[in-house]
Amino acid sequence: MISNSGSQPSAVQLCYENINGSCIQTLYSPIPRVILYLVFGSGVVLAVLGNLLVMISILHFKQLHSPANFLIASLAYADFLVGATVMPFSMVRSVESCWYFGESYCKLHTTFDVVFCFASLFHLCFISIDRYIAVTDPLVYPTKFTLSVSGLCITLSWTITMTYGGSVFYAGVNDDGLEELVSALTCVGGCQLAVNQKWTIIHFLLFFIPSLVMIILYSKIFLVAKLQARKIENTSNKGESSSSESYKARVSKRERKAAKTLGIAVIAFLISWLPYSLDALIDTFLGFVTPAYIFEICCWFAYYNSAVNPLIYAFFYPWFRKAIKLIVTGKVLQNGSLVMNLFSEHE
């Protein structure tokens, strides 16, 4: 996530008291510090453990081995990496207002931030395409969205974001033309990143375009789902329930339910990321005037999205709740756990 410069505190406290050129530190009193660590730490735990459970569930149980679920597992991996490699270090930076992890990891941390967060976005975009095909043509869907197509979507999601994050942020071309600002921000114990207007616009478009695609597709999905539900209801009222029609109705209902759940995940993503994306875009053109605490709030609002998706799955997917129970109780270690049935007759 792109960080910006913060306002200088009135009380002078240094990150490194005995080092010349140390950054100024803003200290919270003990109770707010504990509260902040609890709030941010809970997000880290949810992001790491929640997404780890999603990955184990999908990869362990053969019943969950499907092209769509492999996409979800890869999405969970991206969110897991946000929780494991980005959020803990950002937590210390946010609470202590100092960077204690070295200049090299500062650049790597920023690159991880951009890569893994955008990987989540691209996975969600491909998942919306998958759901659109599944809802609009559920019977033909298995022949259209195959394992190879799913693998291609996963590969593109990671390749595009790693290329962008590595070539722009790790290489350092994002601050071309901002040398004076970078020089002013540079101090020992800081991890600030300046992004020029050109790369800020590109950064925003990489968020905006996939988001727009998702909004359009899910709007169409819910229109189609509404028509399908009405058609199935009319068929049932007329008593025309042949076995083929009944099967089609069950498939349509299942795909609509999956689309609804993942649609909620997309809405949660957009709500979480919109404040940060808009602030980063506007702030660049106004000369980085956003107060540090406002920017940190936007950052953590976005970070918390990585912890939200597992909660959405747990709330809407009975199979995920059953998988969690089997994992937590250790029953996944028993013989035959790979082929355990996670679905009820009504799913």
* CATH code at position 93: 1.20.1070.10
Determine, yes or no, domain membership for 346: no
> What is the pLDDT confidence band of residue 9, given thresholds at 50, 70 and 90?
very low
The alpha carbons of the chain give a radius of gyration, in whole angstroms, of 23
Q: What is the pLDDT of residue 8?
A: 43
Q: Hey, CA dihedral for 195, 197, 202, 203, is it positive or negative?
A: positive
Determine, yes or no, domain membership for 209: yes
Tokens of residue 80, six digits:
């897991």
Closest by CA to 276, choosing from 214, 215, 200, is 200
Three-state DSSP class for 188? strand
> What is the pLDDT confidence band of residue 5, given thresholds at 50, 70 and 90?
very low
Paired residues of 292 in beta bridges: none
Of the candidate ranges 20-34, 58-72, 214-228, 241-255, the one whose mean pLDDT is the lowest: 241-255
> What is the pLDDT confidence band of residue 236, given thresholds at 50, 70 and 90?
low
Q: What is the pLDDT of residue 197?
A: 83
Cβ atoms of residues 347 and 254 within 8 Å: yes
Q: What is the pLDDT of residue 91?
A: 95
Domain that holds residue 315: 30-334
How many residues appear in the chain? Answer: 347
Determine, yes or no, domain membership for 19: no
> What is the pLDDT confidence band of residue 250, given thresholds at 50, 70 and 90?
low
d(CA 10, CA 25): 10
22 HSE (CA, 13 A, CB side): 15
Q: Is the pLDDT of residue 76 over 90?
A: yes
DSSP 8-state assignment for residue 49: I
Both ends of the chain: CA-CA distance in Å? 39
Determine, yes or no, domain membership for 270: yes
Alpha carbon separation from 217 to 121, 212, 222, 318 (Å, rounded): 15, 9, 9, 25
Residue with tokens 């590109």: 202
Residue range 133-147, pLDDT digits in tens: 888 888 888 899 999
Alpha carbon separation from 335 to 44, 59, 330, 338 (Å, rounded): 33, 16, 11, 8
Tokens of residue 134, six digits:
């599944």
> What is the pLDDT confidence band of residue 4, given thresholds at 50, 70 and 90?
very low
Determine, yes or no, domain membership for 93: yes
Provide the domain count of the chain.
1
Determine, yes or no, domain membership for 3: no
pTM (two decimals): 0.85
Alpha carbon separation from 132 to 153, 202, 268 (Å, rounded): 15, 27, 19
Average pLDDT in the chain: 84
DSSP 8-state assignment for residue 340: -
d(CA 301, CA 12): 29
Determine, yes or no, domain membership for 125: yes
Q: What is the pLDDT of residue 334?
A: 85
Determine, yes or no, domain membership for 343: no
Of the candidate ranges 6-15, 216-225, 286-295, the one whose mean pLDDT is the lowest: 6-15
Cβ atoms of residues 203 and 174 within 8 Å: no
